Amino acid sequence: MTEPAFWPWSAIYGAVVLVLVGIAWVVERRQPGTARRFALVVALGSAVVYLTWRLIFTIPSDNWVSLVAGIILVTAEFAGLLQMVASTVIGWQVDRRTPLPVHDLAHIPSVDIYIATYSESIAVLEPTLAGAMGIRYPGKITVYVCDDGSRPQVRELTRRYDAEYLEREEHEHAKAGNLNNALVHSAGELVVTLDADMIPTVDFLEKTVGYFIDENLAFVQAPQAFHNQDAFQYNLFSGDVLPNEQDYFMRTLQPPKERFNAVMYVGSNTVFRRSTLDAIGGFATGVITEDMATGMLLQAAGYRSAFAPDIIAAGLAPENFADLLTQRTRWARGNIQTARKWNPFTLPGLTWMQRWIYADGIVYWHFGIFKMVFILAPLVYLIGGDPVLHAAVSSFLAIWLPYFVASFVRMKLLSAGRRSFTWTHVYEIAMAPTIAIAIIGEWLGFSTKVFAVTPKGVSTEKLNFRWLIALPHVILLGLSLFALLNAFVLSAGRFTFDSLVITSFWTLYNIVGLVMAILVCLERPRQRRTERTEVDLPIGAQLWEGAPVEGRILDLSFNGVRLALPWSNTFGPADAAHQLVRKGKLEIDRIGTISGNSRWISESADGMLVGFEFDELAPDQAVRLVGAISGSPHWVRHDREDKARLAGAAARTVIGAARRVNPSLRSEFRAKGRRIAQLHPSGTKIATPFAVHLDDLSFGGCRVRSRHRINFGDEYGVELHGHHSFSSPAEVRWVHRRGGLYVAGLKFKRHGELKVPA
Q: Give catalytic residues, as residue numbers.
A: 148, 291
Helices (H) and strands (E) in the chain, counts: 20, 24
The C-alpha atoms of residue 526 and residue 462 are separated, in whole angstroms, by: 8
**Residue type for 61, please?**
S
Residue 204 DSSP SS3: coil
* Cα(227)–Cα(203) distance, integer angstroms: 17
Q: Please calculate the CA angle 29-30-36 and round it to the nearest 5 degrees.
A: 70
Measured CA to CA, the distance from residue 225 to residue 311 in angstroms comes to 7
Torsion of CA 721, 723, 728, 730, to 10 degrees: -90
Cα separation, 377 vs 73, in Å, equals 7
Q: Could you tell me the CA-to-CA distances from 636 to 205, 248, 415, 567, 737 in Å, in that order?
A: 19, 15, 18, 32, 42
Dihedrals φ, ψ of 646, to 5°? -65, -35
Q: Which CA distances in Å does 269 have to 3, 277, 334, 363?
A: 54, 16, 20, 25
Alpha-carbon span 462 to 665, nearest angstrom: 9
| E strand map for 64-195 | 111-117, 141-147, 164-166, 190-195
Rounded to whole angstroms, the maximal C-alpha distance in the chain is: 95
* Cα 292 to the center of its chain, rounded Å: 20
CA distances from residue 27 to 20, 38, 44, 403 in whole angstroms, order as listed: 11, 10, 18, 19
Other beta carbons within 10 angstroms of residue 648's beta carbon come to 14
Contacts of 178 (CB under 8 A, 6+ apart): 116, 118, 146, 148, 168, 171
Cross-strand partners of 705 = 693, 743
Residue 547 CA: distances (Å) to CA of 551, 560, 587: 13, 22, 13
Which ranges of 391-549 does DSSP label H, i.e. alpha helix? Answer: 393-414, 421-443, 467-485, 497-520
* Spatial distance between the Cα atoms of 590 and 629, rounded to a whole number of angstroms: 11
Q: How big is the chain by its Cα radius of gyration, in Å?
A: 30
